[in-house]
Amino acid sequence: LNFNKAKFTTAFSAKSKPPEDRFIEVAFAGRSNAGKSSSLNTLTGQKKLARTSSKPGRTQQINFFGIDDKRFLVDLPGYGYAAVSKSLKQEWQGLMEGFLRSRQSLRGVVIIMDIRHPLKENDIQMIEWCDERALPMHLVLTKADKLKKNKINQTLFSVQKSVSDIKTDISVQVFSSETRLGLPELKSKISNWMKA
Ligand code: GDP
C-alpha cells in the first residue's frame, strides 16, 4: 500500500451523517496531544494531512483520508482534552463510541499513546470498546525519541504485560514521528489489516 497517496476525502460530526460503510477502514485514536496527527503525517509522508494543532474546535469531527478508492484512514477526535466543557466531551464520546460500536468497515484501531504516559483512563476505555466487539488493536507508543533505550524497552514490556490478558488481537510497538522509528512496523500492521 502506498500511504503517501493518502488525501482528505470527507469528515463527519455529531451533526452530520457518516460516509457509506462498505469499504476498508483503519481508525486512529488517542488522547489529545499524544501525537496522533504527527503519526498520521509521518505514516503518509505529508506535513499537514492531519492537523497537529490540538485546538479542540478543530478536532471534534471524524476525518477520512483515502489511500485508494476503497481504503481509508480514519482520524478520530482526540480524547481527554481538559479545557473543554462536559457537554462537548460527551458529544465527542458519543460520536466516537457510536462509530466504534457500529462501523462494519473497520479492520482495526491504532491507539496512539505518548510513551511517557501510556494507558491512561481514556485509553483503557477505548481498549474496552474495541474489545467488546473484538476489533483488533495496535498500540503505538510514540515520542520514543524522548526516552533512553532501556526506558523505552521497559515501557514496551510493561504495556505488553498490562494488555496480555485481553483476548482480542492486540499488539504494541514503539514509534517516533521525529526519527521515524517504528514506521515500517506501523505500515506493515496497517497493510495487513487492509488486505482485500
Ligand atoms: P495530537 O493532538 O495527538 O494530534 O498530537 P500532535 O501530533 O499534534 O502532537 C502534539 C505535540 O507533540 C506536538 O508539539 C508535536 O510536535 C509533538 N510530537 C508529536 N509526535 C512526536 C514525536 O514522535 N516526538 C517528539 N519529540 N514530539 C512529538
Q: At what angle do helices 36-44 and 183-193 cross, to 10 degrees?
A: 80
Nearest atom (ligand 1) to Cα of 38: 7
Q: Where are the domains of the chain?
A: 3-193
Ligand 1 pocket check for 189: Cβ under 6 Å: no
Does position 79 have pLDDT exceeding 80, yes or no? yes
174 lines ligand 1 (CB under 6 A): no
CA-angle at 187, arms to 185 and 192, nearest 5°: 95
Q: Whose CA is nearest to atom 17 of ligand 1?
A: 35
Choose the residue to mutate in 33, 38, 58 for probing ligand 1, maximizing ligand atoms within 8 Å of C-beta. Answer: 38
Angle at 5 (CA atoms; ends 3, 9), nearest 5 degrees? 105
* Residue 99: predicted pLDDT: 93
Judge if ipTM > 0.95: yes
Q: Tell me which residue has its CA closest to atom 26 in ligand 1.
A: 143
**Fold held by 3-193:** Rossmann fold (3.40.50)
In this prediction, residue 196 carries a pLDDT of 80
Kindly report, residue by residue over 37-74, the tens digit of the pLDDT.
999 999 999 988 887 544 555 557 899 999 999 999 99
Rg (C-alpha) for the chain, rounded Å, is 16
